[in-house]
Structure 1
Amino acid sequence: MVTDKSVASALGNIQDKPLLWQVGAVLAGTVFLAAASYVEVPLVPVPVNMQTLAVTLIGAVYGWRLGALTVIAWLVEAALGMPVLSGGAAGAHHFVGPTAGYLFAFPLVAALTGWLAERGWSGQRPVLAFLSMALGNAVCLVLGGMWLAVVIGPQDAWTFGVVPFLAGGLLKSALGASLLYALSRRKSPKSE
């Protein structure tokens, strides 16, 4: 349950909505995440895209349970062959390739940012929202980098799978915190 009043107002208490409404929110979240996957800079072995921004926003807006469930639904779509991964990629083989660690980290990232948002790290507290999203990006890089180290070796994993994403992770965290702040300002009446 969301404990911060301004965050609860901004989130619209998605967790308290009827089941059909929540299913619609999950589907909308998977579409948002798929769209973010198409915004990319193709690098090898891991492309730069807007997925982590989408994953952290979904977690912060939906809460930890529904956020993680939404990301898992998106991963299932990908495994079933829907073109929802980076650049429209699809298929189960991505879950054993170089990007597998990042993909498996995404539900944890959504859960982390959602859990923190439920505790006030969102909305009217943009610095905490930024820190929440930065932590989510860090978790993604650590888990993704660890798997990539198994695939291509530790030095190359660090060089190609972590370092190129550090600045982008901070920028996406700032953008995500700004979007949450704007959302909370729009949905919450200003209290004096």
Structure 2
Amino acid sequence: MAAEHESVELVGDELVGNIARAALFAALMGASSYVSFPNPISPIPVTMQVLVVFLAGIFLGPVWGGVSMGLYLVAGGLGAPVFSGGSAGLAPLVGPTAGYLWSYPIAAALVGALVHGGVSLGDYRVSTVRLVGAMVAGTVVIYALGTVGFAYVQGVSLGTAFGLASAAFIPFETFKIAAAVGIVRSDAIAAN
């Protein structure tokens, strides 16, 4: 007598794939925090994290791009050494660079929404102008929240905070935007 077994799909393949991609980008974000070097004009180091924020929004879309950056924050808050310089725990989430960290899910979601034209995941192979515009908008969010957070925690004016925590990074962000465009364009070529 053979027993019959019925298969039940508890979680769909698409959801599993999205979770896996979000976890991959969260891990990539953590790894990118180790690519860090001092900025001669700022106490905040330069990392490649903003590039990963851009790519998460572009490749995962607004929902899963934001989720991936949220997973990154949770992992770091729980003790994984994924914040700049290998730091972890709650201190970075309330310290001088906390505004940047908290901005990452928002910026990834915004970049994704602008690239994909809404909440749904669409084709990320859009015009260069749209791609760059989305990343500039994401950069504005990151540096607005980063500047406010830095000013609050350090007890300095917004103008001082902007000079130390934002303006000093504009050349680096320009490079990251160009790198993201190159990555997206090379992926579009490989896909064809």
What are the superposed Cα offsets for residues 1-54 of structure 1, whole Å, 9 maximum, x if unpaired?
Answer: xxxxxxxxxxxxxxx952222221122111111111111113453211000000
In the TM superposition, what is the alpha-carbon distance from 1:133 to its structure 2 partner?
A: 1.0
Higher Cα Rg, which structure = 2
Counterpart residue number, 2:75: 77
After TM superposition, the structure 1 stretch with the greater mean CA deviation from structure 2, 155-164 or 64-73, is 155-164
2:15 pairs with 1:19: yes
> Which segments of 5 or more consecutive residues in structure 1 lack a partner in the other structure?
1-15
Match of 2:116 among 118, 127, 132: 118
TM-score, normalised with respect to structure 2: 0.84
Q: Give the partner amino acid of 2:25.
A: G
After TM superposition, the structure 1 stretch with the greater mean CA deviation from structure 2, 90-99 or 118-127, is 118-127
Match of 2:49 among 48, 51, 63: 51
Distance change in 2, residues 1:167/1:97 (3 Å)? same
Counterpart residue number, 1:159: 163
Q: Give the partner amino acid of 1:159.
A: G
Counterpart residue number, 1:33: 29
Instruction: Give me the whole-angstrom Cα distance separating, in 1, the residues matched to 2:140 and 2:163.
Output: 15
Match of 2:64 among 47, 63, 66: 66
Counterpart residue number, 1:9: none
Q: Give the partner amino acid of 2:86.
A: G
CA contact (8 A) 1:56 1:136 kept: yes
Q: Which has the higher contact order (CA 8 A, sep 6+)?
A: 1
How well do the aligned residues superpose, as a CA RMSD in angstroms? 1.8
Count of paired positions = 173
> Which segments of 5 or more consecutive residues in structure 2 lack a partner in the other structure?
1-11
In the TM superposition, what is the alpha-carbon distance from 1:151 to its structure 2 partner?
A: 2.1
* DSSP 3-state at the match of 1:173: helix
In the TM superposition, what is the alpha-carbon distance from 1:171 to its structure 2 partner?
A: 1.4
Match of 1:105 among 94, 103, 106: 103
